[in-house]
Amino acid sequence: MQIGVIGSGECYGDICDAAYRIGQLLAENGAVVINGGLGGVMEAVSRGAKSRGGTVIGIIPFKDKKPANRYCDYVIATDMGHARNMIIVHSSDALIAVGGGYGTVSEMAIALKEGKRVVAYRPAVKLDGLILAESPEEAVSLALEGFS
Amino acid sequence: MQIGVIGSGECYGDICDAAYRIGQLLAENGAVVINGGLGGVMEAVSRGAKSRGGTVIGIIPFKDKKPANRYCDYVIATDMGHARNMIIVHSSDALIAVGGGYGTVSEMAIALKEGKRVVAYRPAVKLDGLILAESPEEAVSLALEGFS
Amino acid sequence: MQIGVIGSGECYGDICDAAYRIGQLLAENGAVVINGGLGGVMEAVSRGAKSRGGTVIGIIPFKDKKPANRYCDYVIATDMGHARNMIIVHSSDALIAVGGGYGTVSEMAIALKEGKRVVAYRPAVKLDGLILAESPEEAVSLALEGFS
Amino acid sequence: MQIGVIGSGECYGDICDAAYRIGQLLAENGAVVINGGLGGVMEAVSRGAKSRGGTVIGIIPFKDKKPANRYCDYVIATDMGHARNMIIVHSSDALIAVGGGYGTVSEMAIALKEGKRVVAYRPAVKLDGLILAESPEEAVSLALEGFS
């Protein structure tokens, strides 16, 4: 099971903590974490997953693997800018959005268009079909529902 | 000047009429219409632009040019699925959204992230930074502002 | 008819002259020139096409339209690096390679894989299926064969 | 270390055996195998790597992960057709080509353009800069050279 966790390249306080906790919970549930491989929410969820022995794949927009955060086990270098967002969506069985800005909105929208399960914790915008979660625990539980 | 016009692959009534009218107005103002090259809003805006002698470039998600609507002067076949949305954004100096679903949301979000002018007529969702227009005339006028 | 003309970003002497001449001949035959929109062969063929009133579409690897050469009528900004080569291939009804390096090889290979007509003038490498031309005139004639 | 192994979607006899052996050797050397995730050489190298407890990432051209061969530990679904070849190249620290057709040529060409180490066993075409190997053992040894 590959679960995409999406959010901004910068994060603070609760959003960062939530991303970290989501990473831990996904790892504990045996889910592989797919993310954008950079900073902020991407780094926090990666760090959380690694703290519980999980596996993290970072799909980055650049052609060089180096800018990926150091918690990624594997790095996919796309050299495709925002189009890499679509690859994150297609590679994920379900997605969890943690806060997030415009990039996250683009990912949620395409994931919903593709009929994927998209759970959102504190989303910037509410799109039809989003499943809202009140806590990291609920987010992971809702994302994994139906896969067990 | 290349103006992207984005919206759903199916359209009815006012949305379709507005897209057609926006195509006419863009052509009259000498703007090249960039769009997704398929049906609905994409076809309506293309048809409108051609009715006024304008130029239309359809950027389609498939590898074959044939599915493009017949009002496209030129067809860019990407074979990139939703990632073609990003190419529409990057190729446009400004964008006008006419109604629209998830795909349109993904385009508006990335265009705003890139700091582009995004005018929306009856958008499905209101993103920060969107410039709302009440009519096709206002949409075109707002989109072209600053380019003359 | 959209004909892709591919080759290096730098060109000298005969290769540059051939690209320019091919642009002229394509324009005279009413074919739209698709190319990578940058310098070298791409600029030479664009310049040739414009000298005969032709139409040129540059599909560039960057997210900004500005680096395109000034002979492009329309610029498609992909922000996709080498993946833009695939878009050039899919958007072309047939291709003409003029000299060229590694990038051109990637385009010829994918075009041949897609079953497209690929005419080559002084190719760096001879791939199975390439149609070799001895002159710009022969290259254009062979590329347009079967489309009239 | 992520090593790309590239080749055709169908393979027979020696080519298939060589891909399998290369997978085994990469796994024994602790290298992660990156490949196109489908059949032929892609499946053979994946199977070889798994037979030695290695890790395999399949980067496939489709939007659905299902067509990936069952030896992939992780699947990246790109929905980008041949453009996924570029992602394989960028994600690989070095590449080994095993036989191969047009698609493999496109990958070798772009990898060489990017200055990557490209080792080829029985390549369909000899591009400048390719490092030729006479055996699977030599291919892996040459690919890993400089990384230890």
Tens of pLDDT, residues B16-56? 999 999 999 999 999 999 999 999 999 999 999 999 999 99
Least Cα distance to D142 among D109, D124, D116, D111 occurs for D116
Which among D46, D65, D60, D47 has a CA at the least distance from the CA of D3? D46
Per cent of chain B over pLDDT 70 is 99
* Total number of domains constituting chain D: 1
The candidate with the shortest Cα–Cα distance to C35, out of C106, C112, C116, C104, is C104
| Tens-digit pLDDT profile for residues A19-77 | 999 999 999 999 999 999 999 999 999 999 999 999 999 999 999 999 999 999 999 99
The reported pLDDT for the residue numbered B39 is: 98
Asked if pLDDT for residue C146 goes beyond 90, the answer is no
Asked whether residue A148 carries a pLDDT value surpassing 70, the answer given is: no
Cβ-contact A56, A49 below 8 angstroms: yes
Instruction: Choose the mutation target among D60, D78, D116 for the interface with A, i.e. most A CBs under 10 Å.
Output: D78
Q: d(Cα D141, Cα D143) in Å, to the nearest integer? A: 6
Compute the nearest-CA separation of C67 from chain A (Å).
17
| pLDDT at residue B57 is higher than 80 | yes
Structural tokens at position B67: 């599915």
Long-range contact list for A45-49, CB < 8 A, 24+ apart?
Answer: A45/A5, A45/A7, A45/A19, A45/A20, A45/A98, A46/A71, A46/A72, A47/A20, A47/A23, A47/A71, A48/A19, A48/A20, A48/A21, A48/A22, A48/A23, A48/A24, A49/A23, A49/A24
Q: Which residue has the higher pLDDT, A132 or B147?
A: A132
Chain C CB contacts of B57 below 8 Å: 57, 74, 76
| Cβ neighbours around A67 below 10 Å, total | 14
The answer on pLDDT for D63 being more than 70 is yes
Query: In residues, how long is chain C?
Result: 148
Count CA within 13 A, CB hemisphere, residue B145: 14
| Residue D146, pLDDT score | 73
A93: containing domain: 2-144
**Chain C neighbors of B91, CB-CB under 8 A:** 65, 75-78
Q: Is C28 touching B (CB cutoff 8 A)?
A: no
Kindly state the average pLDDT of the residues D70-78: 98
pLDDT tens digits for C76-123?
999 999 999 999 999 999 999 999 999 999 999 999 999 999 999 999
Arithmetic mean of pLDDT, B85-102: 98
Test B109 with A113 for CB contact under 8 angstroms: no
For residue B42, the domain's CATH number is 3.40.50.450
Residue-averaged pLDDT of chain D? 97
Rounded distance, CA B25 to CA C105, Å?
Answer: 43
Q: Which of C56, C82, C90 is best to mutate for the B interface (most B CBs within 10 A)?
A: C90
* pLDDT at position D148: 66
Residues of D in contact with C86 (CB under 8 A): 81-83, 86
| Token pair belonging to B119 | 């005018």
Query: First and final CA of chain D: distance in angstroms?
Result: 10
pLDDT category of residue C147 using cuts at 50, 70 and 90: confident
- C–D CB contacts, 8 A cutoff, strictly below: 62
Residue of B nearest to C78 (CA): B87
D81–chain B Cβ distance below 8 A for any pair: yes
Q: What is the mean pLDDT of residues C40-53?
A: 98
Considering chain A, what percentage of its residues have pLDDT values greater than 70? 99
* Residue B148: pLDDT over 70: no
Does C3 score more than 70 pLDDT? yes
pLDDT at C52 over 80: yes
Evaluated on CA atoms C72, C77, C82, C85, the torsion sign reads: negative
Q: Is the Cβ–Cβ distance between A32 and A5 less than 8 Å?
A: no
- Residue C140 · residue C96 · CB < 8 Å: yes
Sign of CA dihedral D52, D101, D134, D87: negative
Taking the C-alpha atoms of residue B132 and residue B115, their distance in angstroms, rounded to an integer, is 16
CB contact under 8 A, D127 and C102: yes
A and C: number of Cβ contacts within 8 A: 15
Name the minimum distance, in Å, from the CA of B89 to any CA of chain D. 18
pLDDT at A147: 81
Of the candidates C102, C109, C127, the beta carbon closest to that of D113 is on C102
Partners of residue B58 on adjacent β-strands: B35, B75
Answer yes or no: is pLDDT of B145 > 80.
Answer: yes
Residue among C86, C113, C125 minimizing CB distance to D125: C125
On chain C, the residues whose CB falls within 8 A of the CB of D105 are 105-106, 109, 127
The answer to whether C135 and C44 have CB atoms below 8 angstroms apart is: no
The verdict on A74 touching D (C-beta cutoff 8 Å) is: yes
Candidates D2, D79, D80; nearest CB to A74: D2
Distances (CA, A) of D91 to A92, C138, D86, D107: 18, 40, 9, 12
Distance CA B44, CA B11 (A): 8
Q: Is the ipTM value over 0.95, yes or no?
A: yes
Residue A1 near chain B (CB below 8 Å) = no
C-alpha C142/C-alpha A135 separation (Å) is 65
pLDDT at C148: 66
